Amino acid sequence: MDAETFNRMWPIGTSVRVFPNTRQDPPRITRTRSRAVQVQHGLAVVHVDGIRCGLDTRYVDPLPDDYPVEA
């Protein structure tokens, strides 16, 4: 999914399940803290609370608004 589509569907502050390294690793529940942007080769990345680097949107699963977020 490109950054424009991601941003249209999920605003900053959306609860998400992220897989920081691979989908085989345990996920973290957090919130988006930036809009997604396109980087090299069309890759879309977004920043989330608690993780320094941008994450590939393919490893970010949006959750319902009332989903409890980890501290």
Task: Provide the number of structural domains found in the chain.
Answer: 1
In a domain, 70, yes or no: no
Q: Which domain holds residue 26?
A: 3-62
Digit-coded pLDDT (tens) for 27-56: 999 999 999 999 988 899 999 999 999 999
Q: Which residue has the higher pLDDT, 10 or 25?
A: 10
- Mean pLDDT, to the nearest integer, of 54-64? 93
**Encoded tokens for 40:** 């090299």
The pTM is what? 0.86
22 within domain boundaries = yes
Asked if the structure places residue 68 within a domain, the reply is no
Is 67 within the bounds of a domain?
no
- Token pair belonging to 70: 């980890």
What DSSP string describes 16-53? EEE-SS-TTSPPEEEEB-S--EE-GGG-EEE-BTT-SS
Q: Is residue 15 part of a domain?
A: yes
Which pLDDT value is given to residue 44?
Answer: 97
Whether residue 65 has pLDDT greater than 90? no
